[in-house]
Amino acid sequence: MSANQNTCSKCGGKSIVKGDIGLRTSRDLELIMVVRKDHGVEKKVPLQPKVCGKCGFVDLYVSEAKNLRIQPSDKPIAADARQRPILEYDF
């Protein structure tokens, strides 16, 4: 995301739409998520939009990217998942 939250990354205008803006699927109204699967672990973080009121460009970002980090305490989603061992660079 750009240094200034109120600046459009496409046109440079300072016209980001304010308010509670979210992304949901049209069928079940579920949030759109960024999903990371590694080591049999599944981590999810909601995808957030930033909408420019001037050009209509939509920027997508995650506000808590650190939540996608795999922790040694995370349990695999499948009990029989066999992946490579968790290494320091995975954190």
17: Cβ–Cβ under 8 A, 6 or more apart, which residues? 51, 52, 53
* Average pLDDT value for residue range 15-34: 88
d(CA 84, CA 89): 13
Buried b (16+ CB within 10 A) or exposed e, 42-56: ebebebbebbbeeee
Tens digit of each residue's pLDDT (9 = 90 or more) over 35-81: 888 778 889 899 999 999 999 999 998 888 898 888 888 888 776 65
Is a pLDDT exceeding 60 seen at residue 1? no
Question: What pLDDT, on the 0 to 100 scale, is given for residue 91?
Answer: 59
Count the Cβ atoms, other than its own, within 10 Å of residue 8. 22
Q: Kindly report whether the global pTM for this prediction surpasses the value 0.85.
A: no
Domain residue ranges in the chain: 1-63
